Structure 1
Amino acid sequence: MADKQTHQDQLRAKPGRKAAENAVPSSVQVLDRSLKLLDLVASADGAALTELSDQSGMAPSTVHRLLTSLANHGMVTHDAETGAWTIGLKAFEIGNAFLRFRKLGTISRPFLKNLMELSGETANIGIEDGGDVVFISQVESHAPMRAFFRPGRRGPIHASGIGKAILSTWPNADIERLISPRPLTRFTGKTRDTLPKLLADIETIRARGWSIDDEEHTLGMRCLAAPIFNEYGEAIAGISVSGPAVRLPDETLAALGPVVMAAADGVTQAMGGRRDNSHTQTS
C-alpha cells in the first residue's frame, strides 16, 4: 500500500502534470480572444490589422495569428490588395443556422417585401437579445432617401419601434427588471429616457396594438412596429417599417398601423405561432 501511495505522489509531483492542467485555461483564453476578434470583424465593413489590434488591445502579431487561424476555418477572409479583414462564408453559414432554426428569416421574407411595397418604406425584422434589438432581415425601400439597418446591427430596446413592440407584450414588472439596472440613453429630445415615460408609452402601445418610434433614436426618422409571436404566445420578434419623418406624418402612421399589425400576425401564423393577449398584462 505504501509503494502504491508513493507512486501516486510521484505522479502528482511531476512538473508535466501542472503544465497539462494549465493547458485548459490557455485554450479558453485563445478561444475568447478569437471570438472577440470575430465580433470586431463582423461589426466592421472591413477592418485593418492595426485597427483590430487597437480595438482588441492585443498585439498585432497575436491578432494576425488568431485571424489566420480563423481564416483557415473560413470564419474570416483577407483582402490582400486592401489589407482588410472581413467576415467569412463559414461565419455566415453558422449565423444563418439560427435563422433556419427559427425559420424566421425565410418565412418573413414575403411579408417584408409586401410590407415594403404597401408602405413604400424599408421593412425590417428584429429580435430581442440581452436587452437590445438585433436586426436580422430587411427589404429596403426604393426611395432615394430611406432607412437602412445592417443585419446584425444592435439597437437600444427603449428607443426602437421593434423594441417597444416586444416590450409591450411583457408585464411591467419584467420591463422594470430589464430597465432598472441600466441607464436609458437619451438620443434625442423625444427619447423615453426614464422608466415612467417608457411605461406610459408602453400602455399606449398595448391599447393601440403597434408601437411608434417618433424620432426617439434619430431625428428625422420614424418607425412603426408590431410584435411576432411563437407557438407559446411569446413575442420573439417584431416587424416594422421605417423612413423619413416627412414621409410618415401622423395620418400615415395611423393608416399603416393595421397594415404592419396584419403583417406581424401573418408571420406569426406562418410560423405556427399565436397571439396571446394575456402577455400584455401590466402587472
Structure 2
Amino acid sequence: MAAVDKTPDSVSSVLKVFGILQALGNEQELGVTELSQHVLMSKSTVYRFLQTMKTLGYVKQEGENDKYSLTMKLFELGAKALQNVDLIRIADVQMRELSKLTKETVHLGALEEDSIIYIHKIDSLYSLRMYSRIGRRNPLYSTAIGKVLLAWRDESEVRDILADVEFEQFTSKTLQSVDQLMPVLDQVRKQGYAEDNQEMEEGLLCVAVPVFDRFGQVTAGLSLSFPMMRYDEKQHADYVAMLHRSARAISEQLGYPDYPY
C-alpha cells in the first residue's frame, strides 16, 4: 500500500517553488519539460508555478525559446540580508558602548515596507525596561527610529510608503496623519535626530539618529529609550551627542566618511 503524503498543501507548494528555484540556479536556463524532469512534477504544475514566479519578478523567459532563468531579484534579497548582517555586526560594538554609558535600552531599526523592524537590541541594565524584541515591527510615524528612516526621503516617497497605513492613536500625543508628520520630518532632518515623546507608549521617550550606508542613504536608525522617570532633560544634548558619535562610527565602517552631525 502506497504511503499517504500528509504534507500540508501550503508547505508542499513552498517545497515545489524552492525546488524550481534550485533547479534554475543549477542551470543557466531550462524549459518546462526539462524542469518537470528535474523536480519530478507535472509540466502543468511547473508551468503554473513559473507563471506566478515570473509575475513576481523572480524568473524570466528567455526570448522565444520557451526557456526560463532566474532574475537578479533573489540576489537583491540575499544582498539585503548580508547588508543587515554586516550592519548588526558593526553596530553591536557601538551599541554595547552606549549601553555601558547610559544603562538604557539601545535599538537598531531598519525600514521594512511600511514599518520599522528592530534588527538588534541591547537591553537596559535597569530592572524597569522597555518591552521590545528583535524582529518586532512598529509604525514609522510614532517611533523615533521610524521618523529618522523617513526624514531623509523625498516627500513623495514618504507619502507612497505610508499610503496604505492607518494612523492608529496609541496615546494622546500620537500624530494622526501624513500631513502632521511632514513638518516633523523636516525638523528631524534639520536637527539631525528624532524623538518619540510618549507617542507610542505613555511614560516612554526615545531619541534616535540616522545611520548612513556607503551611498549616503539612511539605512538604519539608532536609538536610546528611557522611562520618563529616568529621563534627564538637562542631559538631552549629551544623549544626542553620544548617539551621533556611535552612528558616525557605524556609518564610517559601512563606507560613509561624511557623517553630517
TM-score range relative to shorter protein: 0.5 to 0.7
What TM-score comes out, normalization by structure 2 length?
Answer: 0.67
Q: Do the aligned partners of 1:224 and 1:241 also contact (CA within 8 Å) in 2?
A: yes
**What is the one-letter code of the residue matched to 1:245?**
M
Structure 1 residue 268 displacement after superposition? 0.4
1:274 Cα deviation after fit = 4.4
Match among 33, 39, 44 for residue 21 of structure 1: 44
State the alpha-carbon separation in 1 of the partners of residues 217 and 85 from structure 2.
14
The share of aligned pairs that are identical, in percent, is 23
Cα distance, 1:194–1:275 mapped onto 2, change above 3 Å: farther
Aligned to 2:163: 180
Q: Which has the larger radius of gyration?
A: 1
> Residues of 2 paired with 1:180 and 1:254: CA distance?
34
1:255 to 238, 242, 246: 238
Give the Cα separation in 1 of the matches to 2:243 and 2:123. Answer: 16
Unaligned runs of 5+ in 2: 1-40, 53-77
C-alpha distance in structure 2 between counterparts of 1:157 and 1:189, whole Å? 17
Match of 1:92 in 2: none
The separation in 1 between residues aligned to 2:165 and 2:84, in whole angstroms, is: 31
The answer on 1:156 being equivalent to 2:156 is no
Alignment of 1:1-283 (within 5 A): 20-22=43-45, 25=48, 98-99=81-82, 102-275=85-258
Please, which moves more after superposition, 248-257 or 97-106?
Answer: 97-106
Which blocks of at least 5 consecutive residues in structure 1 are unaligned? 1-17, 30-94, 278-283
Structure 1 segments, 4+ long, off by >3 Å, are 22-29, 99-102, 274-277
Superposition deviation, residue 243 in structure 1: 2.1
Contact kept? 1:234, 1:276, Cα under 8 Å: no
Contact 1:125 1:136 in 2 (8 A): yes
Contact kept, 8 Å, 1:232 with 1:274, in 2: the verdict is no
Query: CA RMSD of the aligned region, Å?
Result: 2.7
Cα offset, 1:102, TM superposition: 4.6
- Normalising by the residue count of structure 1, what TM-score does the alignment of the two structures yield? 0.62
CA displacement, residues 123-168 of structure 1 (integer Å, 9 cap, x when unaligned): 1111101011110111111101012321111111111111101111
Q: Distance in 2 between matches of 1:270 and 1:175?
A: 27
The alpha-carbon deviation at position 255 of structure 1 amounts to: 2.6
Q: Which has the higher helix share?
A: 1
SS at match of 1:103: helix
